[in-house]
Amino acid sequence: MTSHEHLVSALRQRLDSLRSRVEQLSFDKFGEAAQYCETLGKRIVHEAPPGNDRFTRDRWLNSTGDCLSSLRELSLGQTVELADADAPPVAEFLQSLTEASRDPEKRFQLLVKRYSWPPNVSLAQEAEICEHLLMRLMVHDRAVIERRSVGAVDADDLLLKLNLVAVHAQTTSDLRFLDALNYYYELLPADWVPPAPYGWLLVSYFGFYARALLLRTSTSHEFAHRDTFQHTSGSAANL
Amino acid sequence: MKKHIARWALKAGRLTSLRLLFSRRLVLLSRPLDHPASISKLAARSFDVGLHKTGNIYRQETIDCFRLGILNAHIGLLPKYRGRCVMEWSLLQGDPTGISVFFIDTGIDTGPRIVFSEEVDVSKRTSIADAKDYLFNLDAGFYRRAIDLLNSDSLTYRNNDGSGRRYYVMSKLFQAVTEECLRLSK
């Protein structure tokens, strides 16, 4: 086997494992979102997800709903009504996000407000924000969970960031984003049901993660490259 | 008791440390590196260069205690690979592994002055852990060469221009793939 084949094989095994974990979930524990979670759960287990054309855009769009409803609809492959809009400034937003580093509720609201259409997170001008989200997940949140427990972080804030990173992982060839999803799959307790208003974000994260794994293992898939790196042909990462 | 002390002292580097301590060439800091008492103690010695060995992230006040700065023998090739698990990420992405000696700043591997970088082949190592140990244990030689370069007239710093990426701790899934990449590279 080549290194590339090892990577594909590992991702396929992870997809099988993810499907088993989703199958074990008790959807009735997700309250009013039980129906949504069950529907998405069945899709993750039994169906191939749609292609990534819905995620790849070259301009800022706003949905008529909000970020959370868009995530639900996007995860189920449903149609979302979209309209062209001006991209909001990045620097001010990053500053607000940084200033709210000790206020997860405010951070959650900031992200919800900005990304009414979550795939906007993959636009080139959002690269710094993507990096910030990845850094928060892989440094701060990870450290808190590993030192204490998943109960020590704000579940909504954590899961929204994971969803946005998972949405970005659909279109980027940068493996760090997919690996953040891998890492959290290993880190979060298998039977964890977030005691949070938007606990269903756990299942939508699983949905986007499954889709990212499938896309990565599909040989016909082409990623929207906005990366600066060109991987060598012999690398495992050259998918 | 004496036997225990002798065994402790004979462990790598400790005997040298004791000699340095008795000759008053070893500075022991009882407070964290960025504590004013430590800063004052360090500044008083007028060091030219510091060598990074532990997992600290340094504040500017500590870095400023050293005339030229603090060197780090980073086990990745800068500017492309910053952060954690960079040897593993290099292997996974089919890139060469190696060591870069650079002057740190307060960021994560963002110090702009690279003294030198060199590719180091780890393909003969038995595992990722072994390969990492191997690279980490080369630090003394790399520091010596960096200091020789700093003492020479021919040094031109390479620019750590921020063009690379910051990497993070790797998942178990990718670690396993990286072990295979290492095995296949033999």
Alpha carbon dihedral B100, B103, B106, B108, in 10-degree steps, equals -10
Which residue of B173, B179, B186 is the best one to mutate when testing the A interface, meaning the one whose CB has the most A CBs within 10 A? B173
Other CB atoms within 10 Å distance of the CB of residue B62: 22
All residues of chain B having their beta carbon less than 8 Å from the beta carbon of residue A229 are: 80, 93, 165
What pLDDT is stored for residue A232 in this prediction?
A: 35
Distances (CA, A) of B17 to B3, B9, B10, B26, B68: 18, 9, 10, 7, 24
What pLDDT is stored for residue A229 in this prediction?
A: 33
Q: Is residue A72 part of a domain?
A: yes
The minimum CA-CA distance between B87 and chain A, rounded to whole Å, is 14
Number of domains into which chain A is organized: 1
What pLDDT is stored for residue B3 in this prediction?
A: 67
Instruction: Record the pTM.
Output: 0.90
Q: Is residue A117 part of a domain?
A: yes
All residues of chain B having their beta carbon less than 8 Å from the beta carbon of residue A162 are: none
Q: Is residue A204 part of a domain?
A: yes
Q: Is residue A238 part of a domain?
A: no
Q: How confident is the model at residue B27 (pLDDT cuts 50, 70, 90)?
A: confident
Q: Is residue B3 part of a domain?
A: no
Which residue of B109, B169, B186 is the best one to mutate when testing the A interface, meaning the one whose CB has the most A CBs within 10 A? B169
- For residue A225, what is the DSSP state? -
What pLDDT is stored for residue B11 in this prediction?
A: 66
- Residue numbers of the domain that contains B119: 49-184
User: pLDDT 10s digit of each residue in chain A, 239 long?
Assistant: 888 899 999 999 999 999 999 999 999 999 999 999 999 999 999 977 655 566 667 899 999 999 999 999 999 988 888 999 999 999 999 999 999 999 999 999 999 999 999 999 999 999 999 999 999 999 999 999 999 999 999 999 999 999 999 999 999 999 999 999 999 999 999 999 999 899 999 999 999 999 999 988 885 444 443 333 333 334 666 55
Other CB atoms within 10 Å distance of the CB of residue A162: 25
Q: Decide if A10 and B168 are in contact by the 8 Å CB cutoff.
A: no
Amino acid present at B118: E
Distances (CA, A) of A118 to A148, A160, B162: 30, 10, 27
Contact (Cβ atoms closer than 8 angstroms) between residue A119 and residue A111: no
The minimum CA-CA distance between A2 and chain B, rounded to whole Å, is 7
The position carrying tokens 């295979």 is B180
The minimum CA-CA distance between B54 and chain A, rounded to whole Å, is 18
The minimum CA-CA distance between A4 and chain B, rounded to whole Å, is 9
Longest CA–CA span in chain B (Å) reads 55
Q: Decide if A236 and B94 are in contact by the 8 Å CB cutoff.
A: yes
Distance of CA A137 to the CA centre of its chain: 11
pLDDT in tens, B32-53: 888 999 999 999 989 999 999 8
pLDDT tops 50 at residue B6: yes
The CATH number assigned to the domain holding B154 equals 3.40.50.170
The two tokens of residue B24 are 């008053």
Q: Is A159 in CB contact (< 8 Å) with chain B?
A: no
Q: How confident is the model at residue B150 (pLDDT cuts 50, 70, 90)?
A: very high
Q: Is residue B35 part of a domain?
A: no
- The answer to whether the peptide bond before residue A119 is cis (omega within 30 degrees of 0) is no
Measured distance CA(B138)–CA(A203) in Å, rounded: 46
pLDDT in tens, B151-178: 998 899 999 998 999 999 999 999 999 9
- Residue numbers of the domain that contains A175: 3-217
Q: Decide if B184 and A142 are in contact by the 8 Å CB cutoff.
A: no
What pLDDT is stored for residue A228 in this prediction?
A: 32
Q: Is A180 in CB contact (< 8 Å) with chain B?
A: yes
Q: Decide if A229 and B93 are in contact by the 8 Å CB cutoff.
A: yes
Q: Decide if A186 and B172 are in contact by the 8 Å CB cutoff.
A: yes
What pLDDT is stored for residue B10 in this prediction?
A: 62
ipTM of the complex: 0.90
Q: Is residue B23 part of a domain?
A: no
Amino acid present at A92: E
The minimum CA-CA distance between A106 and chain B, rounded to whole Å, is 26
Number of domains into which chain B is organized: 1
Which residue of B128, B167, B174 is the best one to mutate when testing the A interface, meaning the one whose CB has the most A CBs within 10 A? B174
Q: Is residue B97 part of a domain?
A: yes
Measured distance CA(B79)–CA(B165) in Å, rounded: 8
Contacts of B148 (CB under 8 A, 6+ apart): none
Long-range own/partner contacts, residues B45-51 (CB < 8 A, 24 or more apart): B49/B147, B49/B150, B51/B143
β-sheet bridge partners, residue B113? B159
Q: Is residue B37 part of a domain?
A: no
Q: Is residue A39 part of a domain?
A: yes
Nearest CB among A3, A10, A237 relative to B173 is that of A10
The SS3 of residue B160 is coil
Measured distance CA(B46)–CA(B28) in Å, rounded: 15
Q: Is residue B12 part of a domain?
A: no
